[in-house]
Amino acid sequence: MIIEPYNMSDKCNMTHTHDKFIAKSAQLNHVLLQLTVIDWRGSDEFVGFVDDIVNETKQSLSLVDVHIQLFTDTFDNIIPLLPQYLSRVNPNHVFNLTELSQLHSRSEVVQIIAQDDVLKTINLTVPLFNHNDCIGVMHFNGIIESDVPSSTTLSFCHAIGSLIQRNFRLMDNELRYGLSMLTASQSQEEFHRLAFFDSLTGLANRRLLNQTIETQYQLAKKNQVVGALLFIDLDFFKAINDSLGHAVGDGILVEVAERLKEIPRPEDFIARLGGDEFVILLADLSENPMHAEQHANLLAEQLIERISQPYLYKGQALYIGASIGVTLFPSKDQHADDLLKQADTAMYQAKSNGRKKVYFFDVKMQRKADKRLHIYNCLKSAIAKNELFLHYQPQHMVQNGEIIGVEALVRWHLGGKQQISPAEFIPIAEETDLIIDIGIWVLQAACRQFVEWQLQGVNVPQLSVNVSTRQFHDNNFVDSVLMVLEETGMDPMQLNLEITESVVIEHAEDAIRKMTDLKNIGVSFAVDDFGVGYSSLSYLKRLPANELKIDRSFIQNIPYNVSDMAIVEAVLAMAKHMGFNVTAEGVESRQQLEFLQRQQCSFYQGFYASKPLSAEYLALYIKRLQG
């Protein structure tokens, strides 16, 4: 099932409450329309379908959690399929009499768990019915709105609840029918296979893995031996799956499963979690933790090497890789249900540090992961709480020092007190659609400030604004820029958008089309961080860009690093022949500026001229320069 992602970018551009209501209603209805297409077949696809419902609901409403509690045994057959979402509870232990009365009368229960002057954080509970009996509830935790849930949000949550009920009934009927059609022995075997094994690869699934982890963990503690859990995530698989189709992707997953069976010992346990994630449980490696770590590391390295070997498709070699996180067990203050989380955290570190690597879990990783989650949760409401603000760094002519523009840089005061570094929160935002909301807010705020400077008589020639890859490839990107220009009165001829090389490399034709559309109305473009990533000259010569920005990493060691100086000279020579202006970033010394002057670089920015300034101080800075 293909689901179009819910996009929050339009919401940031609305200026009237009625417009916001219409936009949100349309967006939630679009998500609901996509989710109501029932195309699952069998228990594995049913689990994936419910995963899609939960994930899309969490994304659409920016929820912390979605889960279901059942009051009766109506859907007992489904609980083993969805233990991450389903649980049986006694309603009298969970709800008071007033709340139970509301649920049985088909009304929702609303609980306000936090609030400030602007927003409320709400937990919403809607009842689930089978005919006229209330058989459970669905919890939507962490709704952030200015008041109690809007009618739009309530309708959406009730519709999601109805969708869950309908599909649960269908799956329950399918399981019951399947059991009735088989003999007693066949029924037991088939149900076991459906419940505990992955239908694509034949490997154990998450349910059987969780049971095995618990058993092996307790055995390791009892026998005083050390085991390891390896969390394997495939690198670059998504690109193949998206470009060649799911059938080819499924074929690769099956082949990966076969390769995983080649290396471990016969007694080791292999499972597929779902998607492109696999787990290997290595029990009883050694009584010595150091020996166990060495054995696990050797096996992980062998797995990466084997997985990275080519996969043949119609005479073509396809390549993927693997990032592996490892945790040893048992250890102090560790529980069996910590193993997957710890290995997943270590795998994330491996993937973040270049992929095709092995990382072992340590406590520092967990603290870092917890901090990332805290930043993400706080960042979701940063715009509404007015915690984001902008600083502006001046850009100058290299030859005469004349100011030619400013670059807008976003900053964040968490809670109005603690300043979070952009190096911390921007990468987190870029992993989700939060970067789209933040990007549009930055563009709006920067354009408004630019127009205000003009009204104050502060002459800033050009405004540069960074655009992330996810924001640029959003379907509404061009329209959102046009809307900001119209709302703020910003002259498009004075707006310069900075994109990275990866924006172009990943989707060249789409990038060129969008850049051309905006350039036709006067917006200019700069290729930021040039030289850091994969530089394709064939794409570069086709780009409707005006400027290249040399990354600060090539500037900071001038004049002491001859290699960096040679690279800068080469970039400047190439840019001159191709008709690009060049801005050098991170200029911090007189020697660096003099080198750029000798090489006839166009522009520069950095602490040698000025650190990023607030709007007020930037105005004073320009007035001082211009006399």
pLDDT in tens, 301-310: 999 999 999 9
Q: Which residue has the higher pLDDT, 31 or 288?
A: 288
Model pLDDT, residue 485? 95
Q: What percent of the chain has pLDDT over 90?
A: 43
Model pLDDT, residue 2? 36
Residue 10 has pLDDT above 70, yes or no: no
153 and 270, same structural domain? Answer: no
How crowded is residue 466: how many other Cβ atoms within 10 Å of its Cβ? 21
Residue 348 has pLDDT above 60, yes or no: yes
d(CA 107, CA 158): 9
Q: How far is CA 574 from the centre of its chain?
A: 35
- Three-class SS of residue 531? coil
**pLDDT, tens only, 409-438:** 999 988 777 888 888 888 888 877 789 999
Model pLDDT, residue 35? 67
Q: What percent of the chain has pLDDT over 70?
A: 89
d(CA 73, CA 486): 58
Model pLDDT, residue 364? 75
| φ, ψ dihedrals at 556, nearest 5° | -65, -25
Q: How far is CA 363 from the centre of its chain?
A: 23
Which of 145-149, 415-419, 462-466 has the highest mean predicted lDDT (pLDDT)?
A: 462-466
| Mean pLDDT on 248-268 | 90
Q: Which of 372, 361, 357 is nearest to 233 (CA)?
A: 357
d(CA 317, CA 328): 35
Name the amino acid, one letter, at 481: V
Segment among 130-144, 316-330, 357-371 with least mean pLDDT: 357-371
556 and 438, same structural domain? Answer: yes
212 and 177, same structural domain? Answer: no
172 and 282, same structural domain? Answer: no
Q: Which two tokens stand for residue 601?
A: 């670089």
CATH number for the domain including 327? 3.30.70.270
In a domain, 386, yes or no: yes
Distances (CA, A) of 608 to 466, 547, 590, 612, 619: 22, 21, 7, 11, 18
pLDDT band of 23, cuts 50, 70, 90? low
In a domain, 255, yes or no: yes
Q: Which two tokens stand for residue 610?
A: 């000025």
Segment among 24-33, 285-294, 434-443 with least mean pLDDT: 24-33
pLDDT band of 73, cuts 50, 70, 90? confident
| Mean pLDDT on 33-53 | 75
Domain region containing 168 = 9-187
77 and 156, same structural domain? Answer: yes
In a domain, 366, yes or no: no
CATH number for the domain including 149? 3.30.450.40
| Mean pLDDT on 107-124 | 88
| Mean pLDDT on 545-549 | 90
| Mean pLDDT on 232-257 | 89
Model pLDDT, residue 171? 81
d(CA 233, CA 318): 17
In a domain, 318, yes or no: yes
d(CA 32, CA 539): 39
Residue 87 has pLDDT above 80, yes or no: yes
Model pLDDT, residue 82? 83
537 and 433, same structural domain? Answer: yes
297 and 174, same structural domain? Answer: no
392 and 341, same structural domain? Answer: no
d(CA 428, CA 445): 21
Model pLDDT, residue 442? 96
Q: Which two tokens stand for residue 163?
A: 């969708």
Which residues are CB-neighbours of 373 under 8 A, at least 6 positions away?
Answer: none
Q: How far is CA 418 from the centre of its chain?
A: 24
Residue 7 has pLDDT above 50, yes or no: no
pLDDT band of 396, cuts 50, 70, 90? very high
pLDDT band of 36, cuts 50, 70, 90? low
Q: What b-and-e string marks burial along 330-358, b requiring 16 or more CB atoms within 10 Å of the CB? A: beeebebebbbebbbbbbbbbbeeeebbb
461 and 494 in contact (C-beta within 8 Å)?
yes
Q: Which of 152, 187, 222 is the endpoint of a domain?
A: 187
| Mean pLDDT on 497-506 | 80
Model pLDDT, residue 190? 59
d(CA 101, CA 124): 16
Model pLDDT, residue 289? 85
Model pLDDT, residue 39? 62
pLDDT band of 500, cuts 50, 70, 90? confident
379 and 434 in contact (C-beta within 8 Å)?
yes
d(CA 528, CA 466): 8
Pairing between β-strand 321-329 and β-strand 358-360 as defined by DSSP bridges: parallel
Q: What b-and-e string marks burial along 419-452, b requiring 16 or more CB atoms within 10 Å of the CB? A: ebeeeebbebbbebbbbbbbbbbbbbbbbbbbbe
In a domain, 587, yes or no: yes
Model pLDDT, residue 1? 35
551 and 455, same structural domain? Answer: yes
**pLDDT, tens only, 176-198:** 766 565 544 555 565 556 678 88
Q: Which residue's structure tokens are 């008589």?
A: 457
Q: Which of 46, 321, 62 is nearest to 178 (CA)?
A: 46
Q: Which residue has the higher pLDDT, 33 or 298?
A: 298
Residue 34 has pLDDT above 90, yes or no: no
Mean pLDDT of all residues belonging to the chain: 85
pLDDT band of 617, cuts 50, 70, 90? very high
Q: Which of 328, 361, 394 is the endpoint of a domain?
A: 361
In a domain, 249, yes or no: yes
211 and 168, same structural domain? Answer: no
Q: Which residue has the higher pLDDT, 176 or 485?
A: 485
Pairing between β-strand 277-286 and β-strand 269-274 as defined by DSSP bridges: antiparallel
Alpha carbon distance, N-terminus to C-terminus of the chain:
63
Model pLDDT, residue 477? 93
How crowded is residue 319: how many other Cβ atoms within 10 Å of its Cβ? 12
Residue 532 has pLDDT above 90, yes or no: no
Number of domains in the chain: 3
pLDDT band of 260, cuts 50, 70, 90? very high
Model pLDDT, residue 566? 92
481 and 522 in contact (C-beta within 8 Å)?
no
How crowded is residue 261: how many other Cβ atoms within 10 Å of its Cβ? 14
| Mean pLDDT on 261-281 | 90
Residue 18 has pLDDT above 60, yes or no: no
| Mean pLDDT on 287-305 | 90
235 and 177, same structural domain? Answer: no
CATH number for the domain including 403? 3.20.20.450
In a domain, 199, yes or no: no
| Mean pLDDT on 90-105 | 90
Q: Which two tokens stand for residue 501?
A: 């090389």
Which of 35-49, 332-346, 483-497, 550-564 has the highest mean predicted lDDT (pLDDT)?
A: 483-497
d(CA 89, CA 137): 10
604 and 547, same structural domain? Answer: yes
Q: Which of 361, 395, 412 is the endpoint of a domain?
A: 361
In a domain, 472, yes or no: yes
Residue 6 has pLDDT above 50, yes or no: no
528 and 502 in contact (C-beta within 8 Å)?
no
43-49: Cβ within 8 A, 24+ apart: 43/81, 43/171, 43/175, 43/194, 43/195, 43/199, 44/194, 44/198, 44/199, 44/200, 44/205, 46/81, 46/167, 46/171, 47/81, 47/82, 48/1, 48/274, 49/1, 49/167
